Structure 1
């Protein structure tokens, strides 16, 4: 197994960081890695915003509720961005129908996610830790206001980076057989035995991990999560920003 694969398989979310900065060179290397991610038709439909202002981090922490949003060495926010494309077109060309389609919304979201994962692997290869921050969407309108985002730009998620101050256990994932199907979709009934095996594994993990032990299964977590509507303001916000409208 090569070092890159070892880095990927050793991933875990880091939520406690040492009071130690990352260098400008490290930040730029992470961004360079992000920029080399695959992108649909070379659109590069994302923008990365680095948050260095402590008062702004404090405001973003209020949205998220997670201390590591302000207690980190660097916070990146990944945005889906079709504003640049919109600005390229003059009055002689109509691109609105295409720009505001679901297809281009998906493109922007995927481009940003691919860039972020490249950034993650680069950071972890340097011995840094990361954690994705979806909770910035707890109040997406407030984040939009704080970052002064123009039309056709969406704040999708954050990525905190720093020197790890803990080493959490690696959380097990669904079995390969549940997530990888050959030639056609595997009926749920055939997936179920793998999910049940995973429930047993994750229950054991929660009971024996080094911190925050509990009794829970993946199935119970998912039922709880999806039985309670969350962030329902995101859909109208996206449409107000001129995306995913058609």
Structure 2
């Protein structure tokens, strides 16, 4: 297996870090490399905010549900979908202001996500650990105010970076033949596939070297989506100029 495939397969979310700082030159190199990610029509509709003030880190950690690693990580970034530059170009070229189209929201969100995944992979390749923080969407209005995000920008998720002070076990992913469909979508095996994966994940949780728990994938997945609906997101996004049509 080549180094890139090995790094992709070995990802683990790291939430415990040493006190070692990350060199500013390395941070710049990682960001520049991450910019090599694919971009819809090359609009590059993303920005990131490096949060350095301790009081802001503390506030975001609390808003995210008490995720203390937001405070303890060497670096914390907020990854944003950003149509500010795109709208400027549109107006300057005589094509008018953006109108909040769903397509533009998707393009900006995927751009930000591709960039963020590239940034995480690059960081892991040089020995750093990372974890994405979706909890910043618990109260995106306060996060946007704290970071002074203008219209046409919204925080997609946070990213903690630091040198790992933990070595969690690797979680088994869904088998390839569960997620790969040939020519047409086939859900005839859905129940049996999930049952088998639940058994695998339950065995993993009970045998891992860290905190053991009695759970499976179905239980966690159902809870993740049904208990984190964040119904405020639509109105917030519309307030920021997204998803109006």
Regarding TM over 0.5, the answer is yes
Task: Report the CA distance between 1:124 and its aligned residue.
Answer: 0.4
Q: Summarize deviations over 1:154-210 as a string: whole Å, max 9, x none.
A: 0110110000000000111111111111111112x3233222111111000111111
Q: How does 1:1-246 map to 2 (within 5 A)?
A: 1-64=1-64, 65-88=66-89, 89-90=91-92, 92-97=94-99, 100-187=100-187, 189-228=188-227, 230-246=229-245
Q: What SS does the aligned partner of 1:96 have?
A: coil
Contact 1:137/1:234 (<8 A) preserved: yes
Decide whether aligned partners of structure 1 residues 92 and 122 sit closer, same or farther in structure 2, where only a CA change above 3 A counts.
Answer: closer
TM-score if structure 1 supplies the norm length?
0.95
Contact 1:80/1:154 (8 A) holds in 2:
yes
TM-score normalised by L of structure 2: 0.95
Unaligned stretches of 5+ residues in structure 2? none
Secondary structure at the counterpart of residue 131 of structure 1:
strand
1:222 deviates by 2.1
Mapped partners of 1:110, 1:90: distance in 2? 25
Q: CA deviation at 1:133?
A: 0.5
Inter-CA distance 169–82: structure 2 relative to 1 (3 Å threshold): same
Q: Comparing 18-27 with 229-238, which one deviates more in the overlay? A: 229-238
- CA deviations 1:38-77 (Å, max 9, x no partner) are 0011100000111122221111112111010010111111
SS at match of 2:160: strand
The count of corresponding residues between Structure 1 and Structure 2 is 243
Distance 1:41 1:182 in 2: 28
Structure 1 residue ranges (4+ consecutive) displaced by more than 4 angstroms after TM superposition: none
